[in-house]
Amino acid sequence: MTEEIIENLGDKIVEVLKTIYDPEIPVDIYELGLIYDVMVNDENDVKILMTLTSPNCPVAETLPLEVEEKVKTLEEVKGAEVEITFDPAWTQDMMSEEAKLELGFL
């Protein structure tokens, strides 16, 4: 598989991630900085390393499943797995400038 195709799939995955919102914050999970890494192997299996705003986040059970399901809707994706980590812990500094502006932090 060429590097260009993988990069294109990565862009598509990011676009999907930008459609998923934290229910308590009106900003998508990508701009919030909850996505730490997106890995795609040669078989188009996707692994997403992400965090939550806190370990007690009310969507801790449902948000990772939503991410997996939405990423799997991409035709090129063979499978998707989400791994949750709290290392490093999420902070507001991880938000994009767009998210900070949207939430009035700038």
The pLDDT assigned to 6 comes to 53
Per-domain residue ranges of the chain: 3-89
The pLDDT assigned to 73 comes to 96
Indicate left, alpha or beta for 8 from its phi (over 0: left) and psi (-120 to 50: alpha).
Answer: alpha
CA distance 47 to 40: 7
Instruction: Give the pLDDT confidence of 67-98 residue by residue, as tens digits.
Output: 999 999 999 999 999 999 999 999 999 999 99
The model's confidence at residue 58, banded by pLDDT at 50, 70 and 90, is confident
Longest dimension (CA), the chain: 43
The model's confidence at residue 7, banded by pLDDT at 50, 70 and 90, is low
pLDDT at 25 over 90: no
pLDDT at 101 over 60: yes
Query: What is the CATH T-level fold of the domain 3-89, as seen in this structure?
Result: GMP Synthetase; Chain A, domain 3 (3.30.300)
CA distance 47 to 39: 5
The pLDDT assigned to 13 comes to 96
Average pLDDT in the 20-30 region?
90
Phi and psi at residue 85, to the nearest 5°? -135, 155
Q: Are 58 and 91 in contact (CB under 8 A)?
A: no
Angle between helices 3-17 and 63-72 (to 10 degrees): 140
